[in-house]
Amino acid sequence: MISRRMLLLLDLMCVVGVAWAAVLIGGLLAGVRLLPTGVAVIVTAVLVLPGFTAGLITNRRVVLGRKPQSGWIRSVWAPPDLPHWGLVLSGLALLAFWVAGMSAFIPMNETAPADAVAAYQQRFALGMLGGVGVGGSTLAAASLLRVRRGAGAR
């Protein structure tokens, strides 16, 4: 089980990774590649993926009561229990990263210079990792709120 402090740390890392990806994508959209693709993508992945994984793990719930339809299913994934405004903001941020990543394909052609192609590839990778980071921070925040509500109810 992941402790509350560790989950908070991983959630903060995820948020920093999302901000990092947003800054780098902003630079790419302005025509400036701030870092080489390898460095930008690896740092973003290191910041985002642990929080995403922790968010998925902590949103699993053990099946209690009625037996599941399949004998090998012992737990189910629970969707995030956040206020509607939080889910809307997360959805909009996810959409923004998805559009930023997918729109990198629009200007690509065979005659594009190698530097432009590298910028498009970096924008695509950062857009996808930024979206994963938004999802991870949303899931981790939902877990933190659920733990806080559960501790406050006792």
Predicted pLDDT of residue 5: 92
Containing structural domain, residue 28: 4-153
Calculate what percentage of the chain has a pLDDT beyond 90.
Answer: 53
Please write the tens of the pLDDT for every residue from 71-120: 555 556 666 678 889 889 999 999 999 999 998 888 777 787 888 888 99
Backbone angles phi, psi at 77, to 5 degrees: -90, 130
Q: E strands, the chain, where?
A: 60-62, 75-77
Is the pLDDT at 2 greater than 70, yes or no?
Answer: yes
Is the pLDDT at 68 greater than 60, yes or no?
Answer: no
> Which residue in 49, 52, 53, 31 sits closest to 41, CA to CA?
49
Q: How confident is the model at residue 149 (pLDDT cuts 50, 70, 90)?
A: low
Count of domains observed in the chain: 1
C-alpha dist (Å) from residue 110 to 28, 105, 116:
20, 12, 11
Instruction: For residue 142, give the amino acid letter.
Output: A
What's the rounded Cα separation, in Å, for the pair 43 and 133? Answer: 12
Q: What is the mean pLDDT of the chain?
A: 85
Asked which of 9-18, 38-47, 67-76 is least confident by mean pLDDT, the reply is 67-76
Collapsing DSSP to helix, strand or coil, 60 comes out as: strand
Do strands 60-62 and 75-77 pair parallel, antiparallel, or not at all (unpaired)?
antiparallel
Asked whether 133 and 45 are in contact (CB, 8 A), the reply is: no
Is the pLDDT at 153 greater than 60, yes or no?
Answer: no
Predicted pLDDT of residue 25: 96
Predicted pLDDT of residue 104: 85
Average pLDDT over residues 121-130: 95
Asked which of 97-101, 129-133, 144-148 is least confident by mean pLDDT, the reply is 144-148
